[in-house]
Structure 1
Amino acid sequence: MIVFLDQPFHITCADADLYVELVGPKEGEPIYFLHGGPGYNSHSFRDLMGEELESYQMIYADQRGGGRSYTENDFTVDNLVNDVKVVLDSLEIERAALIAHGFGAQIGARAALDSPERFTQLILINPWLSMPLLSRTLQRHAAKLSGHLEEALPNEEILSNTAVHDPIEATNQAFQWVNPKKLFDALEFPNPASRLQLEHSDSTALLGPQTQAELHGTWQLDALEILKAISTPTFFLGSRNDQTIYPDQLEAGLQQMPNSLMSLIEGGHYPWLDDDESFVKLLQEILSLSTET
């Protein structure tokens, strides 16, 4: 008899209350989903993709400071990495595949490096591996959208290796020129219908206590240099129409991990919104590799 789980948990970790949902067959392959952000949640991914992934034992965990996970104090990326291990320990799950989307790649890469024995795979979906690189991308696109082309930073391929750009300054400049939501919407959603679908899902999310707790040093975070030291089998899944990552973040990541597998699909930052069938098929193919090795 197959036992199907659908259980919410509140896990206490230091000064945080972590909200987690464990969903799927008890004997299914565990998959830990690391959502983007920082400050977002796992609700929309389960809401929109949960049925497609019901053969796996899915771990939907809201990161501290976002969604239904609560903390009063500011925190670091190391806290977020440790939270992953605390959740796995609390659920008594020894190993899991790790799916990291967007900003979640900053946590996923560090977790895989710190505890390779805990993860069967690291699947990076449209990863923000370098926040300084993302800040430059935002500055360039904001300059274009706002008519400040003469102030746009040079493209990455011609940017000097010795050039130093303050990521906070670049991001602030971008957000002064273009409203942050408008800027991210322009880069992440090639199809307005996909944006509306995500916004509708977000509107149904139940959020926990909202505080002013923040992640320290968001725009300085860079996981590129640690990629080459990761031993966990790593896969890149990128979207051609996600202008936050294509091509710069993917190219930078593959330079560090040239032997990793990479697949490109159409769509934006949330590829399951644009072509869920192709996304699920590709994701399942990647996940099947862990059972063959």
Structure 2
Amino acid sequence: MTHVDETYFERLNGADLYFEVVGPEDAPALLYLHGGPGYNSASFRTLVGDALEDYRVVYLDGRGGGRSGPLDETDQGGDYLDLDTLVDDVEAVRAFLGLERFTPLGQGFGALVALEYARRFPLRTARVIAVNPWVHFPELAYILLSEASRLRGRPVEDPRDEVLARTPEGKYPQVGAARVEAAFDLVNARDLLNTLEFRDAHSRMRLEFADAESQLLGGADVQQALVLQGLWEFEYPPFLAEITRPIYVIAGAEDRTSYPEQVQWLEDLGGADVTVLPTGHYPWLDDEEGFLEALHDSMRR
């Protein structure tokens, strides 16, 4: 069986997309969709890639993130980005590589892209593997605000009622955005997410070391473009019931951005099979063996 290790930088769907393809040509295909949004796939390959030798793995740096081209050099421009565009990017990569069927493996925000791909392209999707998914953003915003308030020793002051009261009739109330703004006014965004996502300082430092090795930074423009399109108001759960492919969730009990609230949506509405590990947002940092066992088990079904 021929083993490939190829790097691509291609203009697809109006964007310069960077992706790597590694593994046996005839093996089951996995396409990794990183979180962030605006992060990259380099750390996942560095930390886990050697253990995925039984699969043909596509490591995609999402539009505007990692080694892909800048967002402002896309046909859509730097101020516009939405979920449909990111899903269309995945489909463009699939078509370019000639993959008949594959498994999208998404983590955090990337799990949302993986789920929507499966909903729109069920015939191209073998199954979905969602790692610590984010699917309900106003709820996630409230979690951020609650943790920021706890860290500052303050009661939670949810701006929801105030936002609803001042929003003109016919306009969508920006509750999630107001919650996030209030949270980040209390605690620096990075410090807040680190507190919620990582089990301990050792795990955080392992990821930071991998990021330093790759020398890949950025992603703020991707996040801003999504926010401009209403990211913090987005509620994906109603669409979960439309997904016809099997959904497997690998959840970290110590990742308070996803577990249990976000995971519960997939279990209740998507019929997901859930494996819970004693890990944070990046389970391969804390329990690589447990993560790989859950991944392999999902791929065998």
State the match for 1:146 in structure 2.
Answer: 152
1:116-150 C-alpha deviation (Å, 9 max, x unpaired): 00110101110001111111110111111112225
Question: 1:221 pairs with 234, 242, 245, which one?
Answer: 234
State the match for 2:287 in structure 1.
Answer: 275
Contact 2:146-2:156 at 8 Å conserved across structures: no
Of 244-253 and 87-96, more deviation after overlay is shown by: 244-253
Q: In the alignment, does 2:86 pair up with 1:86?
A: no
CA distance in 1 between partners of 2:183 and 2:117 (Å) = 31
CA distance in 2 between partners of 1:192 and 1:141 (Å) = 18
Q: Deviation at 1:15?
A: 3.1
Contact 1:106-1:222 at 8 Å conserved across structures: no
Q: How many residues align?
A: 278
1:22-79 C-alpha deviation (Å, 9 max, x unpaired): 0011111100111111110101100100001111100000100110112312322111
State the match for 2:83 in structure 1.
Answer: 77
TM-score, scaled to structure 1: 0.90
State the match for 2:102 in structure 1.
Answer: 96
SS of equivalent to 1:129: coil
1:201-242 C-alpha deviation (Å, 9 max, x unpaired): 011225499884522322123221100010011111111111
State the match for 1:192 in structure 2.
Answer: 201
CA distance in 1 between partners of 2:100 and 2:200 (Å) = 39
**Partner AA of 1:108 in structure 2:** A
SS of equivalent to 2:151: helix
TM-score, scaled to structure 2: 0.88
Residue 16 and residue 208 in structure 1: after superposition, are their counterparts in 2 closer, same or farther (change >3 A)?
A: farther
State the match for 1:12 in structure 2.
Answer: 11
Q: In the alignment, does 2:48 pair up with 1:42?
A: no
CA distance in 2 between partners of 1:151 and 1:232 (Å) = 40
Residue 141 and residue 211 in structure 1: after superposition, are their counterparts in 2 closer, same or farther (change >3 A)?
A: closer
**Partner AA of 1:176 in structure 2:** D
State the match for 2:265 in structure 1.
Answer: 252
SS of equivalent to 1:50: helix
State the match for 1:157 in structure 2.
Answer: none
Residue 175 and residue 278 in structure 1: after superposition, are their counterparts in 2 closer, same or farther (change >3 A)?
A: same
Q: For structure 2, which runs of at least 5 residues remain unmatched after alignment? A: 161-172
CA distance in 2 between partners of 1:209 and 1:260 (Å) = 33
**Partner AA of 2:292 in structure 1:** V
TM-align CA RMSD: 1.9
Contact 1:143-1:152 at 8 Å conserved across structures: no
Question: 1:204 pairs with 199, 205, 213, which one?
Answer: 213
Sequence identity of aligned pairs in percent?
Answer: 35
CA distance in 2 between partners of 1:222 and 1:61 (Å) = 25
Of 139-148 and 218-227, more deviation after overlay is shown by: 218-227
